Amino acid sequence: MTDDVATAVLNTARRARTAAADLAVRPWADKDAALLAMADALRERSAEVLSANAEDVHRAEHAGTSSALIDRLRLSDKRVAAMAEGLRQVAGLADPIGEVVRGYTTPNGLQVTQRRVPLGVVGIIYEARPNVTADAAGLCLKSGNAVLLRGSSSAARSNAAIVSVLRDAVSDAGLPADAIQLVEGNGHDTAKHLMRARGLVDVLIPRGGAGLIRSVVEESTVPVIETGVGNCTVYVDADADLDQALAIVINSKAQRPSVCNAAETLLVHVDVADAFLPTVLAALREAGVTVHGDERVRAHDPAAVPVTDDDWAAEYLSLDIAAGVVDSLEDAVTHIRRWGSGHTEAIVTRSLPNARRFTATVDSAAVMVNASTRFTDGEQLGFGAEIGISTQKLHARGPMALAELTSTTYIVTGDGHIRE
């Protein structure tokens, strides 16, 4: 049985490799036409996608899945429309392939250009969120890559329906349908063989919880771009505009708590704690948020849950937040560097020196100054859809979009040059 699974996965990867070679030389217009066809097909066949998704949601609810994960899993007319709009936005972006990163002529007359090229075959291993299926497919196709999609069993029907729609649209547009493939099977063996398909798969990108990401990073022989969990912090500085801080905290935590760029920690400078905490704690309570507070927070709200080390380290993905009072900006940074995940931090301050010091020292993939953590998002930052948020430092960091799905090659042109 294991041999059969391995054969199936490797054959899927081989088909992707053939498709990638075709895509690599396709002009910009061909790829955009396919993306627009994919967007139209999602809208036209949304009932098919929503029906499959309803089955997944029903199974998840009966299995006792948490409300946060069900929110990630659930599609609606609005979310399908957003998936289609994301594909249209990607079609409207500049094609990175062929872009000259640098070019020059050497003293002996050789002409050198470094140009962007596709990575080749990109594998995505992800949990729950079926919108990732469309986002990943669109970004990979635009950047000339074939994509292998290995979603979780919880979204199996949704992902299969979405991939069926996208493959039909791509084929109708004249591109190889195998540019977008679902890796069949839900067991760990399927993922394992994808992680070991070195030479057929060029890079793997895991999207999901800490356990999934750790498993892919530790077990894969294929190069991995690590997308990290989002233990994001909002720090309210001594020089903050407190009305602004209140709006940013509530938006960062409660606007959509089940996503990786939602705030999980609130730190408040001691100089504004007495003025700010009563207001923000009341607003969080009104928004349905459970506060896990340190002693100084609980002095303002004895009903707050005592905070633990597990709370400081948690990516809740729910209406919970860890909160504490710090004596200085440096203490806030020290806390973040100890407990944070390197995803997104925000500072609310009117002090330019404090903002500069914070952004220079927290060492995260994204840092917001007087803005919600929810803006760490490819679409919000103008990239179109995103493939994930990278928290590592090699190749890509932060929201990953088209440019991050490319490598480069050097084109060296001579006129009979030989090396002495």
305-306 β-sheet, strand order: 305-306, 290-293, 320-326, 263-269, 232-236, 344-348, 366-369
Q: What is the pLDDT of residue 210?
A: 78
Taking the CB of residue 272, how many other CB atoms lie within 10 A of it?
18
Segment 334-357 shows an average pLDDT of 97
Query: What are the structure tokens assigned to 329, written together?
Result: 């900006």
| CATH 3.40.605.10 domain position(s) in the chain | 2-228+392-413
Residue 128 has pLDDT above 80, yes or no: no
Q: Enter the pTM of the model.
A: 0.84
* pLDDT tens digits, 260-272: 999 999 999 999 9
Q: What are phi and psi of 321, to 5 degrees?
A: -150, 140
Q: How far is CA 89 from CA 49, 94, 301, 345, 402, in A?
A: 21, 10, 45, 27, 12
**Distance of alpha carbon 358 from alpha carbon 356, whole angstroms:** 5
Q: What is the pLDDT of residue 186?
A: 67
Q: What is the pLDDT of residue 2?
A: 64
Residue 240 has pLDDT above 80, yes or no: yes
Q: What is the pLDDT of residue 383?
A: 77
Range of lowest pLDDT (61-75, 84-98, 189-203): 61-75
Q: What is the pLDDT of residue 12?
A: 96
Range of lowest pLDDT (78-82, 111-115, 122-126, 376-380): 376-380
Instruction: Decide: 213 and 229 in contact? Cβ < 8 Å.
Output: yes
pLDDT band at 227; cut points 50, 70, 90: confident
Residue 221 has pLDDT above 80, yes or no: yes
Q: How far is CA 407 from CA 98, 199, 202, 364, in A?
A: 11, 16, 11, 23
Q: What is the pLDDT of residue 226?
A: 82
Q: Name the CATH superfamily for 232-375.
A: Aldehyde Dehydrogenase; Chain A, domain 2 (3.40.309.10)
Q: What are phi and psi of 389, to 5 degrees?
A: -110, 110
Residue 352 has pLDDT above 90, yes or no: yes
Q: What is the pLDDT of residue 91?
A: 95
Q: What are phi and psi of 244, to 5 degrees?
A: -65, -40
- 3-state SS track over 272-283: HHHHHHHHHHHH
Instruction: Decide: 291 and 304 in contact? Cβ < 8 Å.
Output: yes
**Distance of alpha carbon 154 from alpha carbon 344, whole angstroms:** 28
| CATH 3.40.309.10 domain position(s) in the chain | 232-375
**Distance of alpha carbon 72 from alpha carbon 313, whole angstroms:** 21
Please give the CATH number for the structural domain made up of 2-228+392-413: 3.40.605.10
Q: What is the pLDDT of residue 79?
A: 95
Q: What is the pLDDT of residue 384?
A: 67
**Distance of alpha carbon 113 from alpha carbon 194, whole angstroms:** 34
* pLDDT tens digits, 74-86: 999 999 999 999 8
pLDDT band at 87; cut points 50, 70, 90: very high
Range of lowest pLDDT (201-210, 263-272, 297-306, 385-394): 385-394
Residue 49 has pLDDT above 70, yes or no: yes
Residue with tokens 């899927």: 12
Amino acid at 384: G
* pLDDT tens digits, 143-174: 999 999 999 999 999 999 999 999 999 999 99
